[in-house]
Amino acid sequence: MKRVLAVASECVPLVKTGGLADVTGALPRAMAGTGWGVRTLIPGYRPVLAQAAKATEALSLGAFFGGPARILVLRHAGLDLLVLDAPHLFDRDGSPYLDAQGNDWADNDLRFAALCAAAARIAGGALDDWVPQVLHLHDWQAGLVPEYLAAQGTSLPVVMTIHNIAFHGLTTDDRIAALGLDPARFLPDGYEYYGHVSALKAGLVGADRITTVSPTYARELTTPEFGMGLDGMIRARQHLLTGILNGIDTDTWNPRKDPHIRRFQTPRGKAPNRKGLRAEFGLPDAPGPLAVVVSRLTAQKGLDLLLDAMPAFTGAGGQLALLGSGDRTLENAWLEAARDSDAVAVRIGYDETLAHRMFAGADAVLVPSRFEPCGLTQLYALRYGAVPVVARTGGLADTVIHANDAALRMGVATGMVHAPDDAAALAAALVDLCHLHASPEIWAHIQANGMRHPVGWEASSAQYGALYDALVS
Ligand code: ADP
């Protein structure tokens, strides 16, 4: 097996706040067929340390970023994990990034710098029996790795994947010494970003190849509208950039085997799940479509636009069940919408098994994002015979085929696609959805197309394998 070290801040099934964890948890298994063995370095958060009985110490790092630290080797859920056990940085309650009050941990810069420095040590051969040939860095939390590689004189090919360019991992320049960075590289063509330290930029500057999680997002990143201030430097590196679509874990997300639902093989088998979902959310039985949203509640996801479009949807006979958490203003606005309408029901929170029941019971899954690097919930929708209704942006545009007349005639339609960032367009799409749903034959045809649509990792893992191969040849 050829060897790649992935570096990430979250990984299913141990720790997840979003799609990044789904990817870092599923991709390693998918890579096995390509001849590449992946080990993934993750922080030793509390839920990770709960597995420590199964782990063995591979390396002591001594005093490391303010406290004792070591690297553990852990085999868990089919994954080969390397765990940075540094209790002073990671052994705490709360989410990977936020304290109980919802604020960023004040030492996030140090925590993920430590992760990067540990990765560099492993890349430099600190684990006697395993030295990677390629490094694969995920998002800003892994971005400083090239800086530490350069400082210790290690040269290894680096792939940097952008899962969401909205997060830069910025910190102030007075932290350069504490982070152990080379002050001479605090430059526009180094890790400096408008007077701040940018971990994401460090990764992009130091990478031999840059990937992102869909071809459309790869194009969008080069534009001021989507590049979040980094479009210029991405344009300069466009020759290094490719978009490789995310897949989903088709074992975990398999309606035939899912332990959380009434299992089904064809769209007809969704009926008892739909009934159960309506009951669970207190929605009345109704002939119209039951749509769901499972999402972080942030401006990115366009759920404020959906609030505006709700009267048109419910007026046309639609119902909505929403599961999400995040922005307090949005949470309250949705709770109010649920109070005002019998056709809207809302759960504020994060609930993985409820998410499975929602995709299984839904007629439609709504993803009206303003931008969406890849998006996973529309892929779960396809797999579970729910019709995705998505904004034409990023990976949403790459994974759903709009049910216009031509696509319906050709038998390839899998969902509905509307103009992004436009409440009126979203409302019109939702009214169209109700009309389509009223034509059982056409509806069943779209569902069946969706369930056949390939959403696994086969094609994309081969692309990553080819990318790694090109770097070591
Ligand atoms: P992002 O990473 O931007 O949040 P993705 O669509 O790529 O968006 O991935 C989101 C992942 O998190 C999906 O697996 C989705 O089902 C899950 N998810 C988001 N919010 C919730 C929630 N409130 N409860 C359960 N799962 C959620």
CATH number at residue 293: 3.40.50.2000
Beta strand pairing status for 2-7 and 196-198? unpaired
Of 278, 302, 277, the residue nearest 371 (C-alpha): 302
Taking the centre of ligand 1 as the mean of its atom positions, its distance from the CA of residue 345, in whole angstroms, is 18
The mean pLDDT of 137-144, rounded to a whole number, is 98
Place of tokens 């050709």: 410
Taking the centre of ligand 1 as the mean of its atom positions, its distance from the CA of residue 17, in whole angstroms, is 7
94, pLDDT greater than 90: no
Claim to verify: residue 416 and residue 351 sit in the same structural domain: yes
Strand partners, 192: 197
Taking the centre of ligand 1 as the mean of its atom positions, its distance from the CA of residue 169, in whole angstroms, is 21
Query: What is the predicted pLDDT for the residue at 102?
Result: 84
Helix (H, G, I), strand (E, B) or coil at 415: strand
Helix (H, G, I), strand (E, B) or coil at 181: coil
384, pLDDT greater than 90: yes
Claim to verify: residue 148 and residue 54 sit in the same structural domain: yes
CA pseudo-torsion sign 225, 226, 227, 228? positive
- Pocket flag, ligand 1, residue 57 (CB < 6 Å): no
* Residue 252 is assigned to a structural domain of this protein: no
* Residue 259 is assigned to a structural domain of this protein: no
For residue 201, which amino acid is it? K
- Pocket flag, ligand 1, residue 297 (CB < 6 Å): no
- DSSP output for 110-139: HHHHHHHHHHHHHHTT-STT---SEEEEES
434, pLDDT greater than 90: yes
What's the CA gap between 246 and 163, in Å, rounded?
Answer: 10
Helix (H, G, I), strand (E, B) or coil at 366: strand
* Residue 169 is assigned to a structural domain of this protein: yes
Nearest atom, ligand 1, residue 163 CA: 2
Taking the centre of ligand 1 as the mean of its atom positions, its distance from the CA of residue 377, in whole angstroms, is 7
Token readout for 354 is: 């409820």
* Residue 423 is assigned to a structural domain of this protein: yes
Token readout for 153 is: 């004189």
- Pocket flag, ligand 1, residue 298 (CB < 6 Å): no
The residue segments making up the domain with residue 28 are 2-247+457-472
- Pocket flag, ligand 1, residue 295 (CB < 6 Å): yes
- Pocket flag, ligand 1, residue 246 (CB < 6 Å): no
Residues composing the chain: 473
What's the CA gap between 189 and 321, in Å, rounded?
Answer: 47
Cis peptide before 284 (omega within 30 of 0): no
What's the CA gap between 241 and 422, in Å, rounded?
Answer: 29
Claim to verify: residue 239 and residue 296 sit in the same structural domain: no
- Pocket flag, ligand 1, residue 189 (CB < 6 Å): no
315, pLDDT greater than 90: yes
* Residue 255 is assigned to a structural domain of this protein: no
- Pocket flag, ligand 1, residue 353 (CB < 6 Å): no
Q: Where are the alpha helices (DSSP H) in 316-457?
A: 328-340, 352-361, 377-383, 394-399, 405-410, 423-437, 440-452
pLDDT tens-digit series, residues 223-251: 999 999 999 999 999 999 999 999 999 99
Confidence band (pLDDT; 50, 70, 90) for 62? very high
Claim to verify: residue 243 and residue 282 sit in the same structural domain: no
Taking the centre of ligand 1 as the mean of its atom positions, its distance from the CA of residue 405, in whole angstroms, is 32
Claim to verify: residue 233 and residue 382 sit in the same structural domain: no
* Residue 262 is assigned to a structural domain of this protein: no
What's the CA gap between 400 and 391, in Å, rounded?
Answer: 10
* Residue 415 is assigned to a structural domain of this protein: yes
Helix (H, G, I), strand (E, B) or coil at 53: helix
Please state the domain count of the chain. 2
Taking the centre of ligand 1 as the mean of its atom positions, its distance from the CA of residue 357, in whole angstroms, is 14
pLDDT tens-digit series, residues 316-357: 999 999 999 999 999 999 999 999 999 999 999 999 999 999
Claim to verify: residue 243 and residue 338 sit in the same structural domain: no
11, pLDDT greater than 90: yes
Task: Report the percentage of the chain scoring pLDDT > 90.
Answer: 98
100, pLDDT greater than 90: no
Mean pLDDT computed over every residue of the chain = 97
Nearest atom, ligand 1, residue 323 CA: 23
41, pLDDT greater than 90: yes
Claim to verify: residue 280 and residue 225 sit in the same structural domain: no
* Residue 432 is assigned to a structural domain of this protein: yes
Claim to verify: residue 78 and residue 190 sit in the same structural domain: yes
Of 325, 320, 313, the residue nearest 434 (C-alpha): 313
The mean pLDDT of 192-203, rounded to a whole number, is 98
pLDDT tens-digit series, residues 351-364: 999 999 999 999 99
Separation of first and last alpha carbons in the chain: 15
Mutate to test the pocket of ligand 1, among 17, 377, 383 (most ligand atoms within 8 A of CB): 377
Claim to verify: residue 319 and residue 201 sit in the same structural domain: no
Mutate to test the pocket of ligand 1, among 139, 376, 380, 399 (most ligand atoms within 8 A of CB): 376
What H or E segment, with its residue span, contains residue 145? helix 145-152
The mean pLDDT of 449-457, rounded to a whole number, is 97
Query: What is the predicted pLDDT for the residue at 274?
Result: 98
Task: Report the percentage of the chain scoring pLDDT > 70.
Answer: 100
Query: What is the predicted pLDDT for the residue at 463?
Result: 98
Claim to verify: residue 233 and residue 375 sit in the same structural domain: no
435, pLDDT greater than 90: yes
Place of tokens 């690297």: 71
Query: What is the predicted pLDDT for the residue at 101?
Result: 84
Claim to verify: residue 377 and residue 229 sit in the same structural domain: no
Claim to verify: residue 141 and residue 184 sit in the same structural domain: yes
The mean pLDDT of 134-138, rounded to a whole number, is 98
